Amino acid sequence: MLKKFGIYIICVLFGLVGNLTFAQSIDSLQVDVLQRFQDTETPEQKLKLFYNIPNRYDKDSAYDWLEVVNVYLGTAEKTKDSLAAYTYKLMQAQLNHDIGDHNKSIAIAKDVYAKSDSLDKDTKALILNLLDDNYGKLEMYDKQIAIREAKQRLGLTERVAFYDIYAHMGLYREAMKQYILAVKPTIPDNDHLGLAKHHNTVGNYLRLDKSAATAITEYNKATGYLKVFINDITNQKTENEVFESEVLKAEIDGNIGKCHVILKEHVEAIPYLKESIKVLSEYNTPTSKNQIIYNKLNLAEAHLQLDNNITAKRLLEDDYEDMTVNQELKRNKLLAYYYDKVENFKSAAIFYKRNERITDSLKNNEVSVLKQQLVAIVGTSDLENSRRLFNEQKLANEIIRSEIQAKEEQINFVFISLVFTLLGFAGLIYAYLKSIKNQRLIAEQKHFIENSLKEKESLLKEIHHRVKNNLQMVSSLLSLQTRNTKSKAAIVALEEGKSRVKAMALIHQKLYQNDDLSVIEMQGYIESLINSVQSVYKKGGHNISITVDAEGTELDIDRAIPFGLILNELVSNTFKYAFPESDDNGKIYIHLRKNQDEGYFEYADNGVGLPKDTDERTSGSMGLRLINRLVNQLQSKLNVDRDSEGVRFWFSFK
């Protein structure tokens, strides 16, 4: 009995030591890695640190890193230190890849690889892996295969693998077979982290192949190996391994949640998806954003099936950036389903139509892209199989040729008969062709005009998208300036400026997401704007009951931008000043209507109201001066009611 008790005590002590070591490893990840990078002396050491940092973008974005690397690159080029310049260019290419500019990343990486004679084998491997990943993201599989063949020639890989390309083509079972054959033999039995990754990937292929129940089994195996890795106190873990294990655990949870959604086990899916979103949001990796989007969409689907419609709509109307086509299709489908449930059939039809247009576009390119992918794979990996197919086709052609020769006389007889028949109809056909010639020309001109309109619409959407991105860049610059500012007044001013920039950026985002680029649907815009303002004021505003009455109201951009800025100021003032003690019973009412000739806007809250000396202070208040100028821009006059509970603003406009 004492012996068993002693063994138990030893196990508990080992577990505590392991947890302490793990916690210390996590704490070490909180260091300002960009500062560590700048403090490192040589370019080679900087490169090693750059690629070994588990989470480069935890505190500083890829744009911040790119700015620093560009400075070092400029210095290296001025001093004509070519080796250092190649090192910084490699990091520059990686950062452009992480930002999403894959074409620029490829151009820089190819330029570095062209001068690769002076680089070591490890650096060449980094360049080729980067090119491989970029070509995969752009679906340029023939070039991706050429890169893998180059890695094979350098001895970096034993064989050229194609499982990921099969997966991109939707051949998930074949991808899984190829993956198991290529990867499983390379993982040692004691590499528990590697085995966890392996079973997670196999589970992904099964899930994508609609075998969700079997996929959960693989995910459970991955979780088991991951627990063994984490609890193994005999193996000293690096920062990178600790980070990888945390992210992998969150990804596995999200994948299990997706499987439960596929199996219609929505109650079981929700806690897995929530935990995955929470953890992945803490780690700003290039792949975590994509995982978070999928998890949020699946979480929204689970809430819709459980009739939690408000929660589902909030998730679906989140500000998603860099969505894939499949993610956009799923989001549109869920929004259409939501509007069907609330009997807003007009809005539902908009999203159904949007998905139909995307699907038609995909179908037009699907066949040609699939042929190119098959040619790329078969031409490189299945040469013997291609020869066998060629011989079979040759034999089939010989059989067909003999059959044709046997029937040649019959065909000649039929042909002569057809000639005489066709001569009889020649006159009629000539007249018919002449009559439809003009119609064909008209149809071609119409097709040309339609294509031109589509092209202009696409360009206009791209302009709005770029304007939105530029405004987000301004917002990021304001955030950066806020970090370097000690004055509280300056910080408040910068935060207010950032909020106004976000309000304008949201206008352009709604425009390029709309089918009609000339107007903005204000109900959705106002709700999104309120969510954006709430995210700024984390300590207040979340218990306030907000009623938005603008359904069916659409405004052009000349009116929408002033309205967005006016609302931004009013809602911000309510969150900051209207409820100084408690906002539990707080209410905000927003009403907006626009008919053909005249519009009406009203905003009210039940807070403490405006100070008595508001008129004297208006000239010194940036917010109120801005509101008055914006109302004047709408050719109207702002009315304020301070007699009722709280405060009420209203005005009419044309």
Say which amino acid occupies 17: V
CA 442 from chain center: how many Å?
A: 42
Per-residue pLDDT, 166: 79
Per-residue pLDDT, 242: 87
Per-residue pLDDT, 18: 41
Q: CB 305: neighbour CB atoms within 10 A?
A: 15
Half-sphere exposure of 41 (CA within 13 A, CB side): 0
Beta bridge partners of 549: 591
Per-residue pLDDT, 541: 57
Would you say 233 and 14 are in contact if contact means Cβ atoms under 8 Å apart?
A: yes
Per-residue pLDDT, 517: 66
DSSP character at residue 160: -
Per-residue pLDDT, 373: 52
Predicted TM-score (pTM) of this structure:
0.47
Would you say 154 and 121 are in contact if contact means Cβ atoms under 8 Å apart?
A: yes
Per-residue pLDDT, 17: 37
Within 8 A by CB and 6+ apart from 587, the residues are 544, 545, 546, 547, 605, 606
Cα radius of gyration rounded to whole Å, the chain = 32
Per-residue pLDDT, 401: 62
CA 88 from chain center: how many Å?
A: 27
- Helices (H) then strands (E): counts for the chain: 25, 7
Domains of the chain: 15-160 (1.25.40), 161-234 (1.25.40), 519-654 (3.30.565.10)
Would you say 209 and 172 are in contact if contact means Cβ atoms under 8 Å apart?
A: yes
- Averages of pLDDT over runs of 10 residues in the chain (654 residues) are 35 38 41 84 89 79 90 92 89 90 92 79 87 84 82 77 76 88 88 94 93 95 94 84 90 96 95 93 78 93 94 88 84 92 89 82 52 49 46 59 67 75 80 79 77 68 72 80 82 78 75 72 88 71 84 87 88 85 85 87 89 56 84 90 83 89
Per-residue pLDDT, 456: 67
